[in-house]
Amino acid sequence: MSDRTYDPQEVEVRWQEYWEKNRTFVTDLDSAKRPFYNLMMFPYPSAEGLHVGNVFAFTGADIQGRYHRIKGFDVFEPIGFDAFGIHSENYALKMGIHPSRLVPSSVANFRRQMKRMGLMTDWTREVQTTDPAYYRWTQWIFTKLFEHGLAYRAKAPVNWCPACQTVLANEQVIAGNCERHPDTAVERREMEQWFFRITKYASKLLENLSWIDWSLTTKQAQAHWIGRSEGAEIDFALEGADGAVRVFTTRPDTLYGATYMVLAPEHPLVDRLVSRELRAEVDAYRTAAKAMREVERLDAGKQKTGVFIGAHAINPATGRPIPIWIADYVLLGYGTGAIMAVPAHDQRDYEFAQAFGLPIVPVIFPIGESLPEGAAFEGEGLLGNSGPFDGAPSQEARAKIVAYLATKGCAEAKVNYRLRDWCISRQRYWGPPIPVIYCDRCGVLAVPERDLPVLLPETDDFRPDASGVAPLARVSEFYHVACPKCGAPARRETDVSDNFLDSAWYFLRYTSTDRADVAWDRARTDRWLPVSLYIGGNEHAVLHLMYTRFLCMAFHEMGLTGFEEPFRRFRAHGLLIKEGAKMSKSRGNVVNPDAYVAEHGADTFRMYLMFLGPYEEGGDFRDQGIIGIRRFLDRAWRWVVEERPALPKGDLPRSARIRLHQGIAKVSADTESLQYNTAIAALMELLNVLREQSVADSESGEAFVRLLAPYAPHLAEELWAALGRSPSVFDAGWPDFDPALTLTDSVEIAVQVNGKLRETVRVERGSSQETVQAVAVARERVAAHMADKTLRKVFFVPDRLINLVVG
RNA sequence: GCCGGAGUGGUGAAACUGGCAGACACGCGGGACUCAAAAUCCCGUGGGGGCAACCUCGUGUGGGUUCAAAUCCCACCUCCGGCACCA
């Protein structure tokens, strides 16, 4: 017996060197016959290094890559780093070191840790979003969108975080507070911003969800975010003035019950409509609403407030004038920024009408019950108080009323979306400058492709200030530029683009990192995309994944790619938490993998994370059971290296062979469907069975090692070599199983009497009810429970169960 | 409030399409080996009762459907994630 034992450090480093030297996981993108693009969400390389949450995410994705590789696919598994953005910038400000000097060491640390984890990454295709060779193309994408009318500049009320000193996307505002500063209320500011017209694709973004193979939860989150609602836009003519107020409603059937209107305080018509006597009051309300903290304004439970503006509009159905109010519960950014208020059938309008003594006219009457007291009736029923439409069912009346108004030119059916355009301007330093030049003569120009990249100037003066102007405005060599068209003095845009733009196209760049002349090589993207499988966290369900889909639709429309949807399959992994809480630096509960890898090795740590619970559900990280995985790998090593070679050669007994084939079937199916915890349990069971055998057969060793390979890649290579096979096990093919050998010859059948388990009997597979019943009733324990009772009925599930009902 | 997901031994968890609840591990108890320990191996391990064979209760709570429910239905509780005056 050898005195050597399994030494993961030695084994793992040796195989990592072997893979690197032999370019085992470097993919020839141009000759691949069976491309499998295995994508994982690239990390933000924080200075603290990789944490277990990253390792959990990467490992689950890497298992898919390795599994497909053994199955014979040409797997492309690239990685990159996304070090632009506010997170890096704030950290740099805190440390007083320029981000361009901090990022390389963070990246180097991440790279070291990731290599040590043994991912099958193709490191020849690494991208960094902060590299001018990359962001040149991020800027190019902006110019393409600009050319196609998908990028525009608008003054808009934006979310301003006083702590970040920058604009936030809606998605970055959590309950009215900043995503990065949970104690800081977001303010609203009017600013010139660059937007991408994602709303153009709202319907396509929604419709395609019906066929893309994504985790259901992710698709639901996207559908909700897009927020489609069907209704109508209706014009309410102004009384004693030209023009009309347009509203959006999902309930045109309630039009006869519209007894007043409400505009958002910021609505542009307010200024024109407000009466002289009420102007002071209205202005005071508008100022207050504007200054109000977003959290307060959006608090659904708060008392309704508002003011009458001294003007009236005509209800187009009743022909009667109704008062126009402003109130902060109506939002400028949704629908038309104005509503028709139907207090009888909308709870918010009801509360408002109650507070201000406005008339409440019911027009929908529930069938077979009466209207609720003290609340709006929001359900369906028959129309009343509705002139010619009285008696019509409310659902049918919607279209009828719209059609009737349409003939008078004051309504049209309309689909509204909650989705808003993507604001990409950031008044910060650490990002790709938006490639735009403002020339007094030529107007707003995109920087021509030949002048890209617009390099981010090196400056130590990059702290944002309350001016709201980006730090780049203070760098005069950058700010002043000659117009690319006429040569006259012109100015550069000084905002940088949103970090989400960097990460919205990185998977296209991976294929073409060797090409300095194009963003991506069309032949390669045609071969490799859409991505075969994308694995990542569901926290990106509506941000990253939505923006990415939008860009790909735009690229496809421009003829830049051959596909519309970037990810064939997307699977969301669960969140790894610690003691019931999300891991974060502020909580001080971030777990660093290095210590575990140093103690037990990467294989053990990988498998342990995967064994913790269902991959798609995540779980609570504890290191309690890690020793169980280590023991399992130790046993696997001993079995292959020491125990098995000492046994005489021979064939497995049939029962063991059946267990082997059942194991192959189970591990294959569970790996395929990301049920890694049960796949590992099956591997353990299989090893337990195989170690009980007293012969060394020719089949089980190689099968087991290959099943183990996606999970413990280093050890699998080592054991493959110990079996006398030449590397790499990842070129060896996935073991097949014989379906006939996955069924045992005999089965154990549960015998119940009146639904309670009393006995089990072992019979030949496929035994008839008569046979099983005969065996069962002959058993003493069964007979005892049936004594002096009559057999009423028998339920028989072949090969499983028999239930004898007596009474 | 709304939309998802979840609630099972001391712990992480497993359970096909409604068909033997607790696979696989951790931990714990006992034993073997050892001068001793570590490592390893073997046995046991949901609760209660019983010397035992066995009996009985048991998947968040309360009802229901069914020969049979962790699984389906109704009502509720708790936790996690997301959204939130969306007209």
Q: Is the CB of A645 under 7 A from strand B?
A: no
Give mean pLDDT, residues A695-723.
95
Q: Is the CB of A760 under 7 A from strand B?
A: yes
Q: For A43-57, A307-321, A460-474, A622-636, which range has the lowest pLDDT when averaged over its residues?
A: A460-474
> What does the mean pLDDT of chain A come to?
89
What HEC string does A50-93 produce?
CCHHHHHHHHHHHHHHHHHHHCCCEEECCCEECCCCHHHHHHHH
Residue A770 CA, nucleotide B33 C1', distance (Å): 52
Q: Which nucleotide in the DNA or RNA is closest to residue A796, CA to C1'?
A: B19
Query: Residue A361: what pLDDT?
Result: 94
pLDDT of A126 above 90: yes
Asked whether A585 and A594 are in contact (CB, 8 A), the reply is no
Gap between the Cα atoms of A517 and A70, Å rounded: 35
Residue A781 CA, nucleotide B51 C1', distance (Å): 21
In this structure, what DSSP letter does residue A531 have? B
Gap between the Cα atoms of A107 and A494, Å rounded: 27
Closest to A320 (Cα-Cα) out of A412, A407, A237: A237
Residue A453 CA, nucleotide B86 C1', distance (Å): 40
C-alpha dihedral, A201 to A207 to A208 to A214, nearest 10°: 120
Query: Residue A677: what pLDDT?
Result: 94
Residue A300 CA, nucleotide B1 C1', distance (Å): 9
Q: Which nucleotide in the DNA or RNA is closest to residue A629, CA to C1'?
A: B25
Can you tell me which residue has the tokens 């085992």?
Answer: A24
Q: Which nucleotide in the DNA or RNA is closest to residue A804, CA to C1'?
A: B67
pLDDT of A295 above 70: no
Asked whether A680 and A628 are in contact (CB, 8 A), the reply is no
Asked whether A519 and A509 are in contact (CB, 8 A), the reply is yes
* Two tokens, residue A58: 């990467």
Strands A187-196 and A422-423: antiparallel
pLDDT of A266 above 70: yes
* Two tokens, residue A430: 């650490």
3-state secondary structure of A242: coil
Residue A756 CA, nucleotide B64 C1', distance (Å): 20
* Residue nearest B39, CA–C1′ metric: A631
Query: Residue A420: what pLDDT?
Result: 87
Gap between the Cα atoms of A514 and A351, Å rounded: 63
Residue A631 CA, nucleotide B43 C1', distance (Å): 19
Q: Find residue A439's DSSP bridge partners.
A: A443
Give mean pLDDT, residues A144-148.
96
Gap between the Cα atoms of A16 and A28, Å rounded: 20
Residues contacting A502, CB < 8 A, separation 6+: A82, A84, A85, A129, A134, A135, A138, A431, A432
Residues 195-234 on chain A lying near strand B, CB distance under 7 A: 216-217, 220-221, 224-225, 227, 229, 231
Residues contacting A350, CB < 8 A, separation 6+: A343, A344, A360, A375, A376
Residues 233-272 on chain A lying near strand B, CB distance under 7 A: 248-251, 264
Q: Is the CB of A617 under 7 A from strand B?
A: yes
Q: Is the CB of A157 under 7 A from strand B?
A: no
pLDDT of A581 above 70: no
Query: Residue A2: what pLDDT?
Result: 39
Q: Is the CB of A758 under 7 A from strand B?
A: yes
Neighbouring C-alpha atoms within 13 Å toward the C-beta of A767? 24
Q: How confident is the model at residue A483 (pLDDT cuts 50, 70, 90)?
A: very high
Q: Which nucleotide in the DNA or RNA is closest to residue A176, CA to C1'?
A: B84
CA separation, residue A715 to residues A449, A665, A709 (Å): 50, 22, 8
Query: Residue A586: what pLDDT?
Result: 64
Asked whether A602 and A714 are in contact (CB, 8 A), the reply is yes
* Two tokens, residue A253: 């059937």
Gap between the Cα atoms of A129 and A119, Å rounded: 21
pLDDT in tens, A559-578: 999 999 999 999 998 888 77
pLDDT in tens, A736-790: 999 989 888 888 899 998 888 888 888 988 889 999 999 888 888 888 888 778 8
* Two tokens, residue A2: 């050898």
Q: Euclidean distance between the first and final Cα of chain A, in Å?
A: 64
Q: Is the CB of A675 under 7 A from strand B?
A: yes
Q: Is the CB of A688 under 7 A from strand B?
A: yes
Give mean pLDDT, residues A700-712.
96
**Buried/exposed code over A675-688 (b: 16+ C-beta within 10 A; e: otherwise):** bbbbbbebbbebbe
Q: Is the CB of A665 under 7 A from strand B?
A: no
Residue A744 CA, nucleotide B67 C1', distance (Å): 28
Q: What is the ipTM of this complex?
A: 0.94
Task: Give me the long-range contacts of A441-444 (CB less than 8 A, separation at least 24).
Answer: A441/A483, A441/A486, A441/A488, A442/A483, A442/A485, A442/A486, A442/A488, A442/A490, A444/A153
Give mean pLDDT, residues A205-225.
89
Query: Residue A541: what pLDDT?
Result: 77
Give the residue, A538 or A195, on which the prediction is more confident.
A195
* Residue nearest B19, CA–C1′ metric: A801
Gap between the Cα atoms of A115 and A96, Å rounded: 30
Residue A218 CA, nucleotide B15 C1', distance (Å): 27
Residues 342-381 on chain A lying near strand B, CB distance under 7 A: 346, 348
Nucleotides of B under 7 A from a protein CB: 3-6, 11-16, 19-21, 23-27, 39-41, 54-56, 67-69, 79-87
Give mean pLDDT, residues A80-89.
88
Asked whether A700 and A651 are in contact (CB, 8 A), the reply is no
Query: Residue A12: what pLDDT?
Result: 94
Can you tell me which residue has the tokens 């045992």?
Answer: A744
Q: Which nucleotide in the DNA or RNA is closest to residue A635, CA to C1'?
A: B40
Region at A322 (left for phi over 0; alpha for psi -120 to 50; beta for the rest): beta
Closest to A236 (Cα-Cα) out of A335, A336, A349, A315: A315
The model's pTM: 0.91
* Residue nearest B68, CA–C1′ metric: A755
Residues 511-530 on chain A lying near strand B, CB distance under 7 A: none
| Helix ranges, A244-278 (H) | 269-273
Give mean pLDDT, residues A615-631.
88
What HEC string does A735-777 produce?
CCCCHHHHCCCEEEEEEEECCEEEEEEEEECCCCHHHHHHHHH
What HEC string does A336-385 produce?
CCEEEECCCCCHHHHHHHHHHCCCCCCCEECCCCCCCCCCCCCCCCEECC
